Amino acid sequence: MENQNNVTEFVFIGLWGYKKIELLFLFLLCYLALLMGNFIISLTITCSHLMQQPMYYFLCHLSLMDVSYTSTVVPRLIRDLAAARRNISYNNCMTQLFAAHLLAGVEIFILVSMAFDRYVAIVKPLHYMVIMNRQRCDMLIVLAWVFSFWHSIALLLMVLKLPFCGPNQIDHYVCDVKPLLKLVCKDIHVVSILVIANSGMIAVAIFLVLVASYVAILYNLRTHSPPGRRKALSTCSSHITVVLLFFVPCIYIYVLPAETENKDKEISVFYTVIAPMLNPLIYTLRNMEMKIAMRKVWSKVTHLDLK
């Protein structure tokens, strides 16, 4: 039987299915805090000597990805919380699906690059400047975009081939592959396995690689001096916190089949809103270099204003 697609638009059920002014203001405040925090991180790094260090170079890119990724989801969520009808056209839904997975993928590979940077800095300190030169850092960012593009384009092409005959209500606040599969009017068992392989298993594999790298880092810290060990632990603890906030909910959602009933949309808030909002705090609260750089940049800005 030939696939038919009778759906021209989808309707979001949303987080709790009906309008809540309290949620609207909560997500608006979270989004503004996210924009402000990541803007300060990006400004501090680009306007200081920190941009020359690979760790902060990747952190700057991570902040940009946090803003970009969240901006594919939260503005529409805020609009839908205030709207009487939460509809989205088929084409816009597919665009949001592609953009969200592309940007989230880039963010994941940046986290991998940051882990690799810390591994080289602690395990091979004498070769650090040779291995983590600017050319290699640029190459890692380009590879992040290339791998993420192929992941998201494969996912998009798979969804575009699926027939949507109705109903058109998405039990979510964003166009994602799992809630969309529940609307497909054919057996989705094989497609569900492909989604788990494309998203769930990749997330698990990357998470295990990150865990292994941080275990190796912690093991090698035994030979460092106490001050060096404390500084490295402070930096690594920030990375580990961000990795856990992003990957644990992500793995929970994408390793389970689409047919199962779970709390996907509530749990996804952790990596669409909470983690990007907390990243600036996590990376600055225990980082003396960032605090000093922020003070210097702030003093430059205020000095220019006084002139």
- Identify the CATH number of the domain defined by range 9-302: 1.20.1070.10
Per the DSSP assignment, residues forming a β-bridge with 10 are 88
What predicted TM-score, i.e. pTM, was given to this entire model?
0.89
- C-alpha 196: how far from its chain's center? 18
- Burial class of residue 22 (count of CB atoms within 10 Å of its CB; 0-12, 13-18, 19+): exposed
Give the dihedral sign, CA 190/196/202/205.
Answer: negative
d(CA 39, CA 49): 17
Residue 303 clears pLDDT 70, i.e. is over it? no
Give the residue extent of every domain in the chain. Answer: 9-302
Taking the C-alpha atoms of residue 295 and residue 297, their distance in angstroms, rounded to an integer, is 6
Residue 306: the pLDDT is 53
**Amino acid present at 61:** H
Chain CA centroid to CA 250, Å: 9
Whether the per-residue pLDDT at 100 is higher than 70: the answer is: yes
So what's the pLDDT on residue 283? 81
Q: List pLDDT tens digits, range 231-245.
A: 777 778 888 888 898
Classified as helix, coil or strand, 87 is strand
Q: Which structure tokens are listed for 116? A: 């690799």
Does residue 71 surpass a pLDDT of 70?
Answer: yes
At 146, is the pLDDT very low, low, confident or very high (cuts 50, 70, 90)? Answer: very high
Q: How far apart are CA 270 and CA 248, in angstroms?
A: 9
